[in-house]
Amino acid sequence: DAGVIQSPRHEVTEMGQEVTLRCKPISGHDYLFWYRQTMMRGLELLIYFNNNVPIDDSGMPEDRFSAKMPNASFSTLKIQPSEPRDSAVYFCASGRRPETQYFGPGTRLLVL
């Protein structure tokens, strides 16, 4: 059974470019979470979905960030325009319940 799948695994881009991160949750999981991890701020929840509906996006840092979940098997996190301070590891996690989250391998983003 495949775990949470994220793509790309690594992304290097230049400031001002649009970045799209993708996530395929584990089949049957109703909850999907997007996190960002940096040395300075640790692991932060950006947004989470329940049954494809965004429930809490209060962690999204600013309007440059947006997330969608068009169906139960796919979600995207978009940054437009990207800035160097967006450099981080972005994790997607899914679970049947919020208490049991399975994390994907993460996307390492570097904005130059």
Partner 1 sequence: QKEVEQNSGPLSVPEGAIASLNCTYSDRGSQSFFWYRQYSGKSPELIMSIYSNGDKEDGRFTAQLNKASQYVSLLIRDSQPSDSATYLCAVNGDNFNKFYFGSGTKLNVKP
Note if the bond before 81 is cis, omega within 30 degrees: yes
Nearer to partner 1, 47 or 79 (CB): 47
CB of 79 to partner 1, least distance (A): 20
Nearer to partner 1, 6 or 82 (CB): 6
Determine how β-strand 74-79 pairs with β-strand 53-56: unpaired
Q: Which of residues 2-31 bind partner 1 (CB under 8 A)?
A: 31
Cα–Cα distance list, 22 to 3, 40, 45, 109 (Å): 14, 24, 16, 12
Q: Check if the beta carbon of residue 95 is closer than 8 Å to that of residue 29.
A: yes
Is residue 107 a contact point for partner 1 (CB under 8 A)? no
Is residue 50 a contact point for partner 1 (CB under 8 A)? yes
Is residue 99 a contact point for partner 1 (CB under 8 A)? yes
Binding site for partner 1 (CB under 8 A): 31, 42-45, 48, 50, 55-56, 91, 98-106
